[in-house]
A and B are shown apart, each in its own frame.
Chain A
Amino acid sequence: MLRNHRQEMVVALLFVLPFVLIYGVLFLWPTFQMVYLSFTDAPLIGPGEWIGIENYVEMFDDRRFWTSVRNTAYFVVLTVIPNTLIGLVIAMMVSRLKGWQQSLILAMFFLPYILPVTVVYRIWNWMFNVQFGIMQYPLTWIFGKATPVFRTQWMFMPAVAFVTVWWTCGFNILLFLSGLRSISTDIYEAAALDNASRWTIFRRITWPLIWPVTALVLTIQLILQLKIFDQVYLFVQGGRPDPSMVMVQYIYSQAFQKNEGGYAAAISVALFVIVIVFSILQFQVLRGRGQK
């Protein structure tokens, strides 16, 4: 019996060993290193001096850092709620359909989600192209002239947010669809007996019953969009990155363009903390859902 236990233990440790190695070397170690690095003046590659909290002091006085925080927050506001609401609306539209029609329509809405971001960038850069883009027809109609959307400062973030919603909404649609399917049809039948209007059914039945999924989608989106980099980086190419700089982009520019490893690590820690705070919030939401 005792031998059995020992054996089980050895086997178990062999089973978890590869993962624990990967986890330790590629996750725990870089995390500790990041915190350590943030207290030094090291360049990207090479040793540095311990300078205490100087990077953090500098960060709090750094206008460009705060701009990146503001832009990240702005992007989150522009994407999270629209993405969630549009996802819900589309899911409700798709859930009315049956069989192959539903599969086809769902695939049309979902397809963008599986594209690489660079492909999304190419597609929309073409759609919005100032000279030849097909979106210039509505844009010219609205603004009276051809509009370089990604070169017009006030339009940049909303346009990137628009593309992001188009790209990632499929994920939300799927979650909402499964949520809608789990609402019992009996409730809808009862409502139909009462001759309830579509709006009443939505407001009194669908919305309250789908709320846990909505909360889940909102928090997932929130955490995801805080880490925005790819789209902003790609669409700003050839223009001035500074006014629309987001946090990850600022980390990238400090580390890889300015060679400020220590300072980049300090910004990374800031991002790290922000995301974890929101993740704990998400955890609470999910736990609340589990208890129900």
Chain B
Amino acid sequence: MSTVESRAATLDSGATTRRSRANKAFDIGGLILTLITVIFAVLWAFPIYWALITTLKPEQQAIAKTVEFLPRTWTVEAYWHVLVNTMIGRWYINSLVTSLAVTVITLVTSALTAYALSQLRFPGRTVLWYLILASFMVPLTALIVNHFILMAQFSLINTWMGVVLPQLIHPVVIIVYKNFFDSVPKEYREAAKMDSAGEFQIFRRIYLPMNWGVTTALAIVTFIGAWNAFLWPFLAVSRPEMMNVAVGITSVNDAFGVQYARELAGAILAALLVAVLYLIFQRRVTQAIMLSAGVKG
């Protein structure tokens, strides 16, 4: 903004005094706006900070009447308690396995389908493409009853497979992949054909490596989505040892009254992995969100 102003000032040399006064007022306005932004951001992030800091206090301090923004006594007792006395380790494994499975199966099947739709001719191609586009509109939430019935028929309730299968419908991944495969120059494919490379090789050696960035981005958001999924994992599993961590942490209550530090410690642990993933791959997460909303990121 300041470069704009200074350029404007040099152009408009006839009205220097007026301009500089406006310039000064402008800067103060900008400063106030920045200050408001920072305050707002701090308030916005505060609940996460407050939850985190509560878990590091002893329970009596957590529920103390005075507001303490830092613990007087630092302790990890709440975490220790959650790790030892709940099945959180088991839940973590369940979440890891099911989320990885959802991610890998979704990406592999979607990439293959997108490649075929983008590069190959086969009967039913147009129909399939329109079906995928149409399913973009369909609320999977409305299918919970029949997904449950189907999984029960396959005896998959309370299994990893039962949690994974209904989460595999992600038409948007195919749409994004197809757009990217469409924009790979045809010359690569033709050259590879000259060297008598098979379609799978062309896919694996050219189209996939050229789009690793998209794959990483889609993989991260699919994983985070599966990790955070609530409704289906909550319906598909009733046995505590088969729960995902996001479901597990609210399924158990202490027998002797609520211990807030412990409850929150479980929550922090449940979010830890995805929060770290996001902080490492911020740019990719942003890109994937733009892409799936149909906006070029």
Give me the interface of A with B, judged by CB distance under 8 Å: 5, 8-9, 11-13, 15-16, 18-20, 22-23, 25-27, 29-31, 33-34, 37, 44-45, 90, 93-94, 96-97, 103, 105, 107-112, 114-119, 121-124, 126-127, 129, 131-132, 134, 137, 166, 171, 174-175, 178-179, 185, 188-189, 192-193, 195, 198, 213, 216, 220, 223, 226-227, 229-230, 234, 237, 248, 251-252, 255-256, 261, 264-265, 268-269, 271-272, 275-276, 279-280, 282-283, 286
Contact = CB atoms under 8 A, between A and B. Distances in A.
A18 B264 contact: no
B145 A261 contact: yes
B16 to A, nearest CB: 13
Interface string B263-279: 11011101100110111
A154 B135 CA distance: 37
Contacts of B286: 174
Contacts of B128: 16, 20
B37 A96 contact: yes
A223 B138 CA distance: 10
B103 to A, nearest CB: 14
Given A122-B266, A192-B4, A268-B142, 12 more contacts: A22-B168, A30-B149, A30-B150, A44-B148, A111-B45, A112-B47, A119-B270, A122-B264, A178-B297, A255-B144, A264-B145, A269-B142
Nearest to A280: B137
Contacts of B270: 116, 118-119
A261 B67 CA distance: 50
A126 B264 contact: yes
Contacts of B12: 193
A59 to B, nearest CB: 14
Contacts of B144: 248, 251-252, 255, 268
A198 B122 contact: no
Contact of B138 (A12, A22, A31, A175): A31
Interface in B1-41: 1, 4-5, 7-8, 11-12, 22, 29-30, 33-34, 36-38, 40-41
B138 A115 contact: no
A171 B225 CA distance: 13
Contact of B145 (A13, A111, A237, A268): A268
A178 to B, nearest CB: 6
Interface residues of B, number: 103
B109 interface: yes
B78 interface: no
Of B45, B141, B198, B235, the most chain A CB neighbours within 10 A belong to B141
A163 B190 CA distance: 53
Contacts of B249: 118-119, 122
A119 B37 contact: no
A8 B169 CA distance: 26
Given A44-B148, A93-B40, A124 B138 contact: no
A118 B238 CA distance: 16
Please provide the 4 A-B residue pairs with the shortest distance between their CB atoms, ordered closest to farther.
Answer: A279-B137, A12-B122, A116-B246, A30-B146
A152 B268 CA distance: 28
Contact of A175 (B115, B125, B282, B295): B295
B37 A30 contact: no
Contacts of B279: 107
Given A134-B67, A272-B142, A11 B271 contact: no
Interface in B44-68: 44-45, 47-48, 50-51, 54, 62-63, 67
